[in-house]
Amino acid sequence: MMPFEYEQAQDPAGAVATVTGRPGAAFLAGGTNLVDHLKLGIAGPDLLVDVSRLPLDAVEPTPDGGVRIGTNVRNSDLAAHPLVREQYPVLTQALLAGASGQLRNAATTGGNLLQRTRCVYFQDVTTPCNKREPGAGCSAIDGYNRYHAVLGASEHCVAVHPSDMAVAMTALGADVVVLGAAGERTVPLIDLHRLPGDSPGRDTILEHGELITAVQLPPLPMARRSTYHKVRDRASYAFALVSVAAALDLDGDTVRDVRIALGGVAHKPWRASRAEEMLRGATAGEEAFVAAAEAELEAARTLSENGFKVPMARNTMVAVLRRLAGITGDAS
C-alpha cells in the first residue's frame, strides 16, 4: 500500500475541485472496495478525499412520484427504506442479495455503482490485466473465466460488473446525478458504465474528479410487482453467476409492460431491451418468456468455462417472469 494523504471533504464542490486538480487523488466513501484495492495494490492514490460525511444521505420522494437517493445512503438503509420497499421491491431485494450485513452498513450508493470487477486477474497485480494495465493482455480470456462476460465483451476484456444494486436500478431506468468541476449533469444509469471495447481501463464515463451525488428513480408503478433473483455459488455472501431484475405489468394475461436487467453477464448491468420489446403485447407464459430470453441471449459469446451462463441466464429470466406472472407448477 502506497502512502497517501487524507482529508475530509467540507462540501461536494470543494471535494470535486480538490480531486479534479490532483491526478493522484481519489474519493473515499464507504471504503469497502477502495480499501480492499489499496491493500491489493490495484489502487495507489496519493490523496484520499473522504466524502462519506457529506450530508448526501437522504432518501426523498421527488415531485414526479419518483425517489431521489443521496450518494452516501448506506446500502442497508436504502434496502430498508419504506419508499423503496413499497415502490421498488426489486431494489431492496437486489441490495440485500449483495455482500453481507456488515458491508451493506458501510457501503454507499455511489460507491456501490463504482465498485470494480471481481475478475481474479484484475485483483492480482502479478498477472497481466488490460483493465489494470492497458496493453498488458487479458489473462481471463484463456484462463479462469467461469464468472466472466457472455454479452458485450471485447477481445481486450471479459470482466463483469459485480453490483447487484445497479442491476435493479438499471431495470428501473434510474438516472445518476454527477457533480463535476463544470457543474452538475444527469446521466442515465444505463450509460454510466461502459462496455470494455478497446479501453477496458475505464469502467464508466465519469471524468476524473466527477462525483456521483445522487441516484434518481423515476416513478414506475409497475415496479411494485418486481423481483430480483441472484444465482450464485453459495446461498449467501457471494457474487452472482447470473442475476435477473425484472418488473412485470400484465393486462389480463397480456404483457402491458416489462423491465428486465441482467447481472453477471457483462461489463455493465445489462438491460434486456430486446427481450422487453418481444414481450410487450405478448401473452404471458412459458413460451413467450423462453423466446424473449433466447432472443436477448442470441448475441452471447461464451468462453472456455462460462458457457453455462447462457442457459442459466435464460432459465433465470424465465423463472423470474413466471413468478411475476403468478405461474406455478411444472414446466411442460
Of the residues 83, 195, 286, 295, which one makes contact with other proteins according to CB under 8 A: 286
When the beta carbons of 95 and 176 are compared against other proteins, the nearer one is 95
CA distances from 241 to 14, 267, 273 (A): 40, 13, 20
Per the DSSP assignment, residues forming a β-bridge with 108 are 74
Check binding of 136 to other proteins (CB under 8 A): no
E runs forming strands in the chain: 5-8, 25-28, 47-50, 59-61, 67-70, 175-180, 183-188, 211-217, 226-232, 240-251, 254-263, 270-271
When the beta carbons of 191 and 287 are compared against other proteins, the nearer one is 287
Check binding of 24 to other proteins (CB under 8 A): no
- Residue 270 Cβ vs other proteins, minimum distance, rounded to whole Å: 17
Check binding of 14 to other proteins (CB under 8 A): no
Q: In the range 309-328, which residues lie near other proteins by CB under 8 A? A: 311-312, 314-316, 318-319, 328
CA 207-211-213 angle, 5° bins: 140
Q: What are phi and psi of 196, to 5 degrees?
A: -70, -35
Region from 56-64, 120-128, 179-187, 247-255 binding other proteins, contact rule CB under 8 A: 120-128
Check binding of 127 to other proteins (CB under 8 A): yes
Contact flags string 58-77 toward other proteins, x per CB under 8 A: ------------------x-
Check binding of 282 to other proteins (CB under 8 A): no
Contact flags string 292-311 toward other proteins, x per CB under 8 A: --x-------------x--x
- Residue 144 Cβ vs other proteins, minimum distance, rounded to whole Å: 5
Region from 17-25, 92-100, 188-196, 261-269 binding other proteins, contact rule CB under 8 A: 92-100
Query: b/e map of 149-186 (b: 16 or more CB within 10 Å)?
Result: bbbbbbebbbbbbbbbbbbbbbbbbbbbbbbbeeeeee
Of the residues 55, 64, 126, 135, which one makes contact with other proteins according to CB under 8 A: 126
Query: b/e map of 67-97 (b: 16 or more CB within 10 Å)?
Result: bbbbbbbbbbbbbebeebeebbbbbbbbbbb
Residue appearing with cell numbers 476524473 = 208
Of the residues 79, 159, 178, 215, which one makes contact with other proteins according to CB under 8 A: 79
Of the residues 73, 159, 242, 324, which one makes contact with other proteins according to CB under 8 A: 242
Question: What would the grid cell of residue 283 be?
Answer: 401473452
- Residue 166 Cβ vs other proteins, minimum distance, rounded to whole Å: 17
Helices 309-325, 286-296: axis angle to 10 degrees equals 140
Of the residues 132, 161, 229, 267, which one makes contact with other proteins according to CB under 8 A: 229
Question: What would the grid cell of residue 214 be?
Answer: 445522487
Check binding of 283 to other proteins (CB under 8 A): no
Helices 165-172, 89-96: axis angle to 10 degrees equals 160
Check binding of 204 to other proteins (CB under 8 A): no
CA distances from 268 to 6, 28, 148, 293 (A): 31, 22, 12, 18
Check binding of 32 to other proteins (CB under 8 A): yes
Q: In the range 33-52, which residues lie near other proteins by CB under 8 A? A: 35-36, 38-41, 48, 50, 52
Q: In the range 143-172, which residues lie near other proteins by CB under 8 A? A: 143-144, 146
